[in-house]
Structure 1
C-alpha cells in the first residue's frame, strides 16, 4: 500500500500549517513500514516523495521566498519527530535542512533568493557531497580546475554523500588546482544533481542508516557555473578563523545531529514500551502477573526516561540559544559563538550517550523473544551507532572540559 500526503501549500499566518504536526503525521504513517524498509535497505523513494509533498523541505526558507519561515527550535522538533519513526529519513531531512544556512551564510543575496525560491517552488531535495575517503576527514582531493568564464571543472570522488541519490541539488566542495595564488583553496558550490558528469553510485553498505543513500558520487569534468559558487574561495575557512557568522554552520549541524539521535531514542522507547505492555513476560522471581509490574523493568524504564528528559531539555535550551545567536546577524561576537559551542557539544554528548544507552538497554526489558528480526528493535541501535561514529563524542566532552577548566572556547572548525 502506497501512502500519499497531500501538498501543504505554505501560506504565512495559516494556522493549519503547523510543521511539527505535519512531521508527526508523516512519522505515524511511516512506522508501519519502517522495519521492512530497514531490512530491504536501498532508497526510501515513496517516503522521500511524501516529504517532498509535505512542504517540509522548505521548512527553513523565509516566507517571502515561499517557505515556512520556521525558527531553529521548530526545525529541531521536526527532525526529532521524523527520526523517531525512521532514523534514515530523519538523517536525510536533517542533512537537507543544513543546506539552507550554508546558502544564507556564504551565498550572495542573488544566490539566496534564486536557490530559496527554486527549492520552495519545486520542493527540491538537496544532497550532500563533502566527505572523502582519504588520510583524514578534511583531506579533500576532488579538484576544482578554474575555467576561463570564472567557473570550475570538478573531478574526483566524494564518499558518504547522504541524500545525493534522488536529490535535485548537490552541495559540493572542491580544492582549486592551478598555478595561481588560490591553489589549494576550497570552494563550495550548489549544482544540479542531474548535471552531465555527475555519477551517484549505489554503494552504501553499513549496519545502520540503511536508507540514507549515503554512497559515493563521482565527478567527471563537471562544470560549475560562476554563479553556483558560494562566496569566495576559502570563504568558510576565513569565517571559522575569524569566528564570523559563517562559523555557525558547524554548531547548526551538530545540533541537528544531536536531535536526530534523540528522536531515534524516543522511537526505540516508544516501540519497547508497546512491546512490554502487550507481549513481554515477567521473570519468575519477580512474583508478578505482568512484566509491567516487575520492579526491575520499572526501574529500567525510569532510567531511560530520565536520561532522555535531561538530554531533551538541554537540546531545546541549545536550540533557543542558537536562535538568539542567529538573530544577531553580522553583530555576532566571538563570545556569542563561543558560548553556543560550549552548549552544543554538551548536548551532542548527552544525546549520543542517552541514545546508545536506551537503544541497547531496551533489550533488557523486552526479553529474548523481542530479538526476533520481525520486530526490528535492533535498527534503533544500529542507526545511532553507525552515525555517532562519524564524529567521536570524546572530543566534544573535552571541548566542554577545556572551557570549564581553562576558560577556552572551542576553536571554530568543521566539527566545532
Structure 2
C-alpha cells in the first residue's frame, strides 16, 4: 500500500481552489468553445489543482472530502466552463463507482490506484444503447460492443464499462485502462453545446477483465444492496449542479457586461444616465437572481441529503429513504433546467443588441444548458415529484431515476 503525505484542506480551501481553476478557465472560455479541441490542457489543470482527488482517501493523497463539497466544486468550475464542470462531475461519480457496487477489496484497490496517480475517469455506460455483451471465459470476462456516448473518452485514464453477461440479465461494471487496443473512441462528438466533454461514441472489442475485478461479484455472484442504486440520483445531482453553475456564470457574465457596456434607452420618457439605473433592467436582474438563489438553496439541500447516505454504511440505506432523496433531486433538477434556460435567454434582453456579437460568446450558456438538459425528459422528473406530493409514492429505481 502506498501512503502519501498530503496537507489537509478544508471545504473552504477546496472551494477556493475551484474558484481559482474557474478563473483560469474563464480567460479563454469563448475561444476554447469555438475551437472545440480535446481538453487535454483543461484536464491537466484539474489534476494539477488536486480537484480530481477531492473524494480520494487522504492516506493516498486524496482530499477525503464529502459529496457536498464535490457538488459545490463542480458547480464552481461550471460557472466558467460548463464542459469542464461536466467532465469533473462525471469523474467524481465514476471515481465513486467502486464504492457504489464493488467489494471492500476492490474499493481499496481502485481508490489507491486513481488517487495516488491522479487518474481521470470516463464512462461508457449509456443505458439507452444495447448493452455491451459480456462473455464468461473462465477466470475472465470479455466485453464487446458499442456505446453512443462515452463522456471523457480521450482525456480519461480509466473507463467504467457496463454490460450484460451473455445468457443472463446480470449487469457487470468494470474499471479498465482507457488506452488499449480494444477501446476505440470514435471522435464523433460535434453537438451545439458542452462541446469539450469528449462525449462521442466508443467501440469495445475483446476487452478482458479478470472476474476478480468484476465490481461487486464474489464467486461470479453479485449481492445487491439498495445503496447500489444511488448511482442514478448521484449523477442526476451532478447534472443539476453544473446546470446551476452554467446559469450562475451566465448571470454573472451578463451583469458585468451591463455594468460596463450596456447603454440606457433614450426613448422611454424616463431617461437614465446609465443602464444600471433602468427600472426594467433592475427588475429583471432581481427576478433572475432571486430564482437562482432559490435553485441553489434547493440544490444544496439535496446535496446534503444524498451526501449523508453516500458516506454512511452501505447496508443502512432503505428504499424509502433512497426514494425521498431521488424526489428531492428531481425537484432540484427541474428547477435548475427551467431557471437556467430562462436566465441564459433573458440575459440578451438585458445586455442589449451589441451583446449578441460572437466575440462575447453569450450564446454558449444557452447552448450548453439546452444540450445536456435533453439527457432525459425533464417531464418525468416533474411527474416523480407530483406522484410524491399527491400520492406519497417514491420512484422505483431505474437507469434514469
Q: Shorter-normalised TM-score: what interval?
A: over 0.9
Distance 2:9 2:183 in 1: 39
Counterpart position of 1:322 = 306
1:69-84 aligned within 5 A: 69-84=64-79
After superposition, give the CA deviation of every residue in 1:336-386 in whole Å (9 maximum; x if it has no partner).
Answer: 112211211101111111111101110110111111110000000000100
Please list every run of 5 or more consecutive structure 2 residues that lacks an aligned counterpart in the other structure. Answer: none
Distance 2:14 2:382 in 1: 33
Determine if the alignment matches structure 1 residue 185 to structure 2 residue 174. Answer: no
The correspondence for 2:157, drawn from 160, 168, 179, is 168
8 Å Cα contact 2:39-2:155 kept in structure 1: no
After superposition, give the CA deviation of every residue in 1:151-174 in whole Å (9 maximum; x if it has no partner).
Answer: 222211112211011211000111
User: 1:309 Cα shift?
Assistant: 0.6
Determine if the alignment matches structure 1 residue 147 to structure 2 residue 147. Answer: no
8 Å Cα contact 1:186-1:234 kept in structure 2: no
Counterpart position of 1:38 = 33
8 Å Cα contact 1:145-1:153 kept in structure 2: yes
Counterpart position of 2:357 = 372
Counterpart position of 2:293 = 309
Determine if the alignment matches structure 1 residue 298 to structure 2 residue 287. Answer: no
Greater displacement, 260-269 / 15-24: 15-24
TM-score of the two chains, using structure 1 as the length reference: 0.91
TM-score of the two chains, using structure 2 as the length reference: 0.94
1:110-129 aligned within 5 A: 110-129=105-124
User: 1:207 Cα shift?
Assistant: 0.3
The correspondence for 2:384, drawn from 377, 381, 399, is 399
Distance 2:115 2:194 in 1: 27
The correspondence for 2:100, drawn from 94, 98, 105, is 105
RMSD of aligned Cα (Å): 1.8
8 Å Cα contact 1:42-1:213 kept in structure 2: no
8 Å Cα contact 2:123-2:153 kept in structure 1: yes
After superposition, give the CA deviation of every residue in 1:223-274 in whole Å (9 maximum; x if it has no partner).
Answer: 12223311237959x54xxxx1112111111111101100001110111011
8 Å Cα contact 2:141-2:209 kept in structure 1: yes
User: 1:15 Cα shift?
Assistant: 5.5
Distance 2:5 2:358 in 1: 40
Distance 1:41 1:323 in 2: 34
The correspondence for 1:23, drawn from 18, 22, 25, is 18
1:197-216 aligned within 5 A: 197-216=182-201
Aligned residue pair count: 393
Counterpart position of 2:43 = 48
Greater displacement, 326-335 / 197-206: 326-335
Rate the CA distance shift 1:220–1:56 in 2: closer, same or farther, 3 A.
same
8 Å Cα contact 1:202-1:216 kept in structure 2: yes
Please list every run of 5 or more consecutive structure 1 residues that lacks an aligned counterpart in the other structure. Answer: 1-8, 132-136
The correspondence for 1:389, drawn from 374, 379, 392, is 374
User: 1:214 Cα shift?
Assistant: 0.5
Rate the CA distance shift 1:184–1:32 in 2: closer, same or farther, 3 A.
same
The DSSP-based 3-state class of the residue aligned with 1:269 is helix
Determine if the alignment matches structure 1 residue 59 to structure 2 residue 54. Answer: yes
Distance 1:67 1:82 in 2: 19
The correspondence for 1:231, drawn from 216, 224, 228, is 216
8 Å Cα contact 2:8-2:63 kept in structure 1: no
Distance 2:317 2:169 in 1: 29
Distance 2:170 2:104 in 1: 23
Counterpart position of 2:241 = 259
